Amino acid sequence: ELKVEQNPLFLSMQEGKNYTIYCNYSTTSDRLYWYRQDPGKSLESLFVLLSNGAVKQEGRLMASLDTKARLSTLHITAAVHDLSATYFCAVDRGETSGSRLTFGEGTQLTVNP
């Protein structure tokens, strides 16, 4: 059974600081996704990482994937209050068709002014 673990689960940080969220998964997969969820809202796709060594950046967020270590990171640079949300990583089970994602528990990020 595929397991996806995120840490930390709760993160409180000051504006302007940097931090990294980690996502470990238990079985081989080369499709990993990062999503953002605001309270009571849907999930917004942030990054799709499809190969070992993939690195993607959007604004203050950068995501990377190391399939050998079964690890993805979401790095936050110079955090701002608007980044406060819950961030989920999700790993595809690797079926031959369709995307059955297994989600981590989520990292609840609070950025304080």
Partner 1 sequence: NAGVMQNPRHLVRRRGQEARLRCSPMKGHSHVYWYRQLPEEGLKFMVYLQKENIIDESGMPKERFSAEFPKEGPSILRIQQVVRGDSAAYFCASSRRMTEALFFGEGSRLTVL
Choose which of 39, 68, 97, 113 interacts with partner 1 (CB under 8 A). Answer: 97
Q: Quick check: 38 and 24 in contact, CB under 8 A?
A: no
Query: Per CB under 8 A, which of residues 22..81 are in contact with partner 1?
Result: 31, 33, 35, 41-45, 48, 50
Q: Quick check: 25 and 6 in contact, CB under 8 A?
A: no
| Nearer CB in complex with partner 1: 68/97 | 97
| Nearer CB in complex with partner 1: 19/103 | 103
Strands 4-7, 19-25: pairing kind: antiparallel
Nearest one of 85, 92, 104 to 44, comparing CA atoms: 85
Point out which residues bind partner 1 (CB under 8 A). Answer: 4, 31, 33, 35, 41-45, 48, 50, 88, 90, 95, 97-106
